[in-house]
């Protein structure tokens, strides 16, 4: 099937997914998400699961790749739909996925003409496709935000850059731009930025409109509509001055420090965006003020925010306004993604965006830190404390806040994420071929295929955007800390394309062929990501069979030992390279033998796997202060014993008739 020549409309994407499930019934499950889209009457939203074994695996080795959460980002939904089609075709017909040679053009600074770049043919071998479909459940969710995408297709260039949000109606604000919520700030992670962040600190570095909740906060509908009740508290040792409240794009007249609730009520009711008697304010003079929307505003309403630059206090004070809002995940499209991540126990999550040519590693809500105490898990302990700043930018007496990123045995989350991101970056460069204008070179201006690997919190720093709240990748990543049976969980964001490929709206046709270039990059990135997931789960088949789960901590430990300890030295990785094929030559048969024999599995678990894991854990701990090479040697010795004894023991059991 040739690539599209124009962006595919959402209804056609969903129709194509349905066709796939009918054409490939054994390998493609069509999933209708629980919520229709936000714009009445709402459309059904679907995705597919590519698989080789019918039912979803109970232990959740599932990979989710999604796109189109930001409406105007045209390329990812098309590329992900085509990828699903190509993978199923390749798997069923045992063929390679091939791209012919391509010439694409990128824009140059005016008045230079576009720069032509040639790409060689590009092949994804059938064996790689087979390995992916055989080993993992691959969920492909190409069009998360259909209302927004359709609006952008019908109104390209709305407000210049196009449409970003969903199409949730905004009954309180007639401005065309006030419709909708930025879905990628609506997830249940640090959602209420006005509470999670120390905004005075944050704004010393990042100025409006670049608040953590969106790049478009001048329309206060960005991260979700909420219940009609709020609490407004004057805090931080304020003793004078004034503040303003902002609702749905309008700001009140100044509200002096210490005024009665009735004054706050009068100021809010004077706003055209509230009006009449549609808000009540109660509470003591000076607050906290309880703000309740009512009458014509008695429905989910946009966020209330404050500007408190004119509040004053004594030396060392931090005068500010704290506003509590009701919950996140207000949007049906957000809920669909959360539902998929949680009910299908996704372990690998990739959100494909456009643009910025980057592979983004969590966290996005703050810079990564090593202090275990600084974590979103600590409930309200860190409310109004996240600063979005790096150490050198923090003004005394404040303390720099960083979000804890575990990077310890056995999962090494921080390193592993970067390792996976690097493998994706390499895959994209390799697929780009040898044209010096495509590959990385001495002149960065001639480098049009290098995706930078960068922390999500700093991904858009060049545009003055800091750490952000409520994003999909952070939400996915956070699940493992809330439900520890889902440790580890890997989550990344890819930003495809660039300004030089027409930004959000790439050209789909010759001679520019921006879309075709981006599509190849998305294929390369997703295949590399899925391959990392396969490698992750295809380890220790015997231990997996013995425990009946690839997610058991003992199995995880063995896997991490291979990837982190043995592979961390040249010596160790050579040993793994020699042992792996030997191990895989007999382990599938042993695993198949074990699966239906419960007593035998229990025996293997108790007599072999558990003691081996305990031994290796002790060894790993003891070797920690020792030089890596010696550690590898020590682990190697044990590994050899395990790898040789285990099959011998299994065979012995069979022969002796224990089972």
SS3 call for 478: helix
| Residue 353 makes contact with Zn ion by CB under 5 A | yes
Smaller CB separation from Zn ion, 144 or 575: 144
- Mark 179-198 with x for binding to Zn ion (rule: CB under 5 A) and - for no binding: --------------------
* The pair of three-digit structure tokens given for residue 446, joined into one six-digit string: 């001639």
In 3D space, the residue among 263, 282, 257, 461 whose CA is nearest the CA of residue 358 turns out to be: 461
The residue assigned the tokens 């640090």 is: 190
* The pair of three-digit structure tokens given for residue 208, joined into one six-digit string: 């409006």
The binder of Zn ion chosen from 36, 49, 51, 70 (CB under 5 A): 70
Chain Cα centroid distance, residue 130: 26
Name the minimum Å distance from CB 197 to Zn ion.
21
Q: Which stretch binds Zn ion (CB under 5 A): 67-75, 434-442, 561-569, 586-594?
A: 67-75
Name the minimum Å distance from CB 283 to Zn ion.
39
| Residue 36 makes contact with Zn ion by CB under 5 A | no
Q: Which stretch binds Zn ion (CB under 5 A): 27-35, 63-71, 459-467, 646-654?
A: 63-71
Name the minimum Å distance from CB 353 to Zn ion.
4
- Which residues in 603-624 are b (16+ Cβ under 10 Å) and which e? bbbeebbeebbeebeebbeebe
Q: Which stretch binds Zn ion (CB under 5 A): 41-49, 84-92, 352-360, 438-446?
A: 352-360
Smaller CB separation from Zn ion, 146 or 200: 146
**Is-contact 119 105, C-beta < 8 A?**
no
Peptide bond into 588 cis (omega under 30): no
Name the minimum Å distance from CB 65 to Zn ion.
15
Measured in degrees and rounded to the nearest 5, phi and psi for residue 155 equal: -130, 60
Q: Return d(Cα 107, Cα 499) in angstroms, integer.
A: 8
Q: Which stretch binds Zn ion (CB under 5 A): 240-248, 346-354, 391-399, 403-411?
A: 346-354
In 3D space, the residue among 339, 470, 471, 342 whose CA is nearest the CA of residue 35 turns out to be: 339
> CA torsion angle for 106, 109, 111, 115 (degrees, to 10)?
-20
Chain Cα centroid distance, residue 371: 23
Q: Return d(Cα 121, Cα 283) in angstroms, integer.
A: 69
Q: Which stretch binds Zn ion (CB under 5 A): 57-65, 69-77, 230-238, 609-617?
A: 69-77
Taking every pair of Cα atoms in the chain, the longest distance, rounded to a whole number of angstroms, is 88
In 3D space, the residue among 574, 561, 566 whose CA is nearest the CA of residue 628 turns out to be: 566
Q: Which stretch binds Zn ion (CB under 5 A): 234-242, 351-359, 364-372, 585-593?
A: 351-359
In 3D space, the residue among 401, 636, 404, 438 whose CA is nearest the CA of residue 520 turns out to be: 438
Name the minimum Å distance from CB 448 to Zn ion.
20
Smaller CB separation from Zn ion, 51 or 70: 70
| Residue 72 makes contact with Zn ion by CB under 5 A | no
Smaller CB separation from Zn ion, 424 or 438: 424
Name the minimum Å distance from CB 68 to Zn ion.
9
Q: Which stretch binds Zn ion (CB under 5 A): 30-38, 64-72, 152-160, 362-370?
A: 64-72
Count the residues of the shown chain that bind Zn ion, applying the rule CB under 5 A. 2
Q: Which stretch binds Zn ion (CB under 5 A): 259-267, 350-358, 419-427, 623-631?
A: 350-358
- Mark 515-534 with x for binding to Zn ion (rule: CB under 5 A) and - for no binding: --------------------
| Helix or strand (DSSP H, E) at 546 | helix 541-547
Smaller CB separation from Zn ion, 353 or 605: 353
Smaller CB separation from Zn ion, 190 or 566: 190
Smaller CB separation from Zn ion, 184 or 449: 184
Handedness of CA 517, 142, 145, 525 (dihedral sign): negative
Smaller CB separation from Zn ion, 329 or 353: 353
Smaller CB separation from Zn ion, 244 or 354: 354
Name the minimum Å distance from CB 88 to Zn ion.
27
Q: Return d(Cα 242, Cα 309) in angstroms, integer.
A: 8
Name the minimum Å distance from CB 365 to Zn ion.
16
Smaller CB separation from Zn ion, 102 or 183: 183
SS3 call for 493: strand
Name the minimum Å distance from CB 185 to Zn ion.
11
> CA torsion angle for 31, 36, 37, 38 (degrees, to 10)?
-150
* The pair of three-digit structure tokens given for residue 507, joined into one six-digit string: 């050209």
Task: Return the ∠ at Cα 348 (arms to 461 and 488), rounded to 5°.
Answer: 95
Smaller CB separation from Zn ion, 164 or 486: 164
Question: How many Cβ atoms from other residues are within 10 Å of residue 600's Cβ?
Answer: 19
Name the minimum Å distance from CB 305 to Zn ion.
22
* The pair of three-digit structure tokens given for residue 214, joined into one six-digit string: 């969106």
Smaller CB separation from Zn ion, 388 or 503: 503
Which parts of this chain interact with Zn ion (CB under 5 A)?
70, 353
């Amino acid at each position: 099937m040739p690539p599209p020549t124009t962006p595919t409309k959402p209804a056609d994407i969903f129709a194509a997914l349905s066709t796939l499930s009918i054409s490939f019934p054994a390998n493609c499950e069509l999933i209708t998400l629980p919520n229709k889209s936000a714009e009445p009457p709402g459309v059904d939203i679907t995705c597919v699961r590519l698989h080789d074994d019918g039912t979803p695996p109970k232990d959740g080795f599932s990979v989710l790749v999604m796109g189109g959460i930001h409406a105007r980002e045209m390329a990812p939904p098309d590329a992900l739909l085509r990828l699903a089609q190509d993978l199923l075709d390749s798997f069923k017909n045992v063929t390679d996925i091939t791209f012919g040679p391509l010439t694409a053009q990128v824009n140059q600074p005016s008045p230079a003409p576009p720069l032509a770049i040639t790409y060689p043919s590009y092949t994804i071998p059938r064996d790689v496709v087979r390995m992916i479909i055989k080993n993992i459940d691959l969920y492909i969710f190409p069009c998360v935000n259909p209302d927004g995408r359709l609006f952008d297709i019908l109104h390209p260039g709305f407000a210049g850059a196009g449409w970003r949000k969903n199409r949730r109606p905004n009954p309180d604000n007639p401005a065309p731009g006030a419709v909708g919520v930025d879905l990628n700030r609506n997830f249940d992670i640090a959602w209420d930025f006005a509470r999670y962040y120390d905004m005075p600190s944050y704004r010393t570095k990042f100025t409006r409109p670049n608040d953590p909740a969106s790049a478009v906060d001048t329309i206060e509908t960005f991260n979700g509509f909420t219940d009609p009740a709020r609490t407004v508290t004057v805090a931080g040792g304020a003793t004078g001055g004034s503040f303003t409240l902002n609702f749905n794009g309008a700001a009140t007249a100044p509200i002096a420090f210490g005024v009665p609730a009735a004054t706050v009520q009068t100021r809010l009711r004077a706003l055209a965006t509230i009006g009449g008697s549609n808000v009540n304010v109660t509470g003591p003079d000076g607050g906290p003020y309880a703000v309740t929307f009512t009458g014509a505003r008695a429905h989910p309403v946009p966020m209330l925010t404050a500007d408190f630059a004119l509040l004053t206090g004594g030396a060392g004070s931090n005068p500010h306004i704290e506003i509590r809002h009701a919950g996140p995940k207000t949007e049906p499209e957000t809920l669909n993604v959360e539902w998929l991540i949680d009910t299908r126990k996704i372990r690998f999550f990739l959100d494909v965006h456009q643009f910025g040519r980057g592979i983004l590693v969590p966290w996005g809500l703050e810079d990564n830190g090593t202090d275990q105490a600084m974590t979103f898990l600590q409930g309200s302990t860190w409310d109004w404390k996240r600063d979005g700043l790096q150490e050198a930018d923090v003004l005394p007496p404040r303390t720099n806040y960083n979000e804890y990123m575990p990077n310890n045995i056995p999962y090494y989350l921080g390193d592993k994420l970067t390792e996976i991101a690097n493998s994706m970056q390499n895959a994209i460069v390799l697929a780009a071929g040898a044209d010096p204008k495509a590959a990385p070179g001495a002149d960065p201006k001639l480098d049009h295929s290098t995706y930078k690997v960068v922390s999500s919190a700093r991904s858009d720093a060049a545009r003055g955007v800091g750490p952000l709240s409520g994003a999909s990748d952070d939400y996915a990543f956070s699940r493992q800390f809330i439900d520890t049976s889902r440790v580890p969980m890997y989550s990344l964001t890819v930003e495809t394309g660039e300004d030089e490929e027409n930004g959000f709206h790439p050209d789909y046709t010759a001679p520019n062929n921006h879309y075709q270039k981006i599509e190849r990059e998305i294929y390369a990135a997703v295949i590399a990501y899925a391959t990392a997931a396969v490698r992750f789960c295809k380890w220790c088949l015997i231990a997996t069979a013995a425990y009946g789960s690839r997610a058991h901590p003992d199995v995880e430990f063995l896997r991490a030992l291979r990837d982190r300890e043995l592979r961390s030295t040249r010596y160790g990785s050579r040993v793994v390279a020699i042992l792996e094929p030997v191990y895989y030559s007999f382990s599938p048969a042993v695993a198949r033998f074990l699966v239906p024999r419960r007593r035998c599995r229990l025996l293997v678990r108790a007599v072999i796997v558990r003691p081996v894991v305990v031994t290796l854990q002790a060894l790993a701990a003891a070797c920690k202060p020792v030089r890596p090479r010696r550690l590898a040697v020590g682990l190697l010795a044990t590994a050899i014993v395990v790898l040789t004894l285990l099959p011998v023991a299994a065979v012995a059991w069979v022969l002796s008739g224990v089972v």
